[in-house]
A and B are shown apart, each in its own frame.
Chain A
């Protein structure tokens, strides 16, 4: 957790690693070929990487600029608008109907409200589909039109994630950005139609497992889910890059009042805490810069995105 200039705590014999999606590897007893288990198992590595990429890590520490959060919300809006449009179109498809939970899951409206909060009434004219988000959105439309069963993967990757780590992100964002406790700007994270997230995830898993799919299709869904993870990493990487060009003061709530006192009428760079933190956190950017360079070449975008995201995540994970 710490900045790398500081020693790791010595007490507990901790290991580094991501949130464990605990699924025993070698469980022969109860249908390990169920899609829910294949997905959890088959996206474990992607999940570790996603969680450990720099942008996500910074976010989790409450280091998120308002501008970036707004852009992230806009990116999510395009992704969910695409995903929900395709799901609606395929609502009666035998592979979509069992996992069709518009009242419980759909986020487009919530994101629109958040964007209105951040950008004002003409939010639609102020946001645009970014280069890092476009491949994701394009892919969703592509599978929606050509291979709807793969929407299962996209929907799993986002909704199940939102129902898991999303709640942590909500609290972090609320505090870091000093958003009102009444939830404005954070509707995305608030699933009004779901009382127990744990219970709902169980229902969702049971529905995925009720889909009539052959082994090959299940494998393809796992593959597509890993791809969806990579697309998410691309979005994060892009945000991180943009973040470097934004000169907004870090909304670090941890600095709080004491920081405000020091900084009264002062220069932020004189703050020893701030300076130390900048030095410490400015490091593992090489991989990301590389990613951005490649991303500016449209033909390479696609093939390389996954690799770069992987690399960035890995580097970040390794260095920190």
Chain B
């Protein structure tokens, strides 16, 4: 196994608030990694730093050995990070299919001029990317909704569409920010199946999740954040028994 992501000393300071302090992490090819922690622990901030949406104050992010710290989010995307958002951020007035086709942006190359002239290569590329997008939608069981507006989908499907859109960028690492939040039991179960499927396909995934059952089920390794710091790291079994984690979640026993 080779590690594809190496994070060293990642720190994020907002004014006086230290939202992330000195986070170290390595991620191996093909593993499913969980990040847990109480609300406000800095989990989303961690994703924002990785994807360049809010560049970190200090620290280093290396993807496949390349330093990508502080570069623009759209370039980071093309280097291999794709993510979903805790508060769903779909292109609501676009169809499900077009949302996924936006994800294919950097896998396609039609220039403005070629698109205006509708050259043969542009038409071919459009047909191919539509086919590719449909394959991804099929994988996530969304193809029946391909021509619906993204904003009109039920909540659970919107979360799934965000995953589809992220997959379209053909990422090295998929970052899921609370993918099961707000889902009912059935939807959560479907999601579990999908992540299992992605794992079998060899995707490397980092999941932030509150639902303990969910995360213990799917992750081989867990990182626990509290107040911006990593307080524990290990297998679900180890984490369950970890005193610092129990304290963070249940409060100090008196």
A pairs with B: no
Contact residues of B with A, CB < 8 Å? none
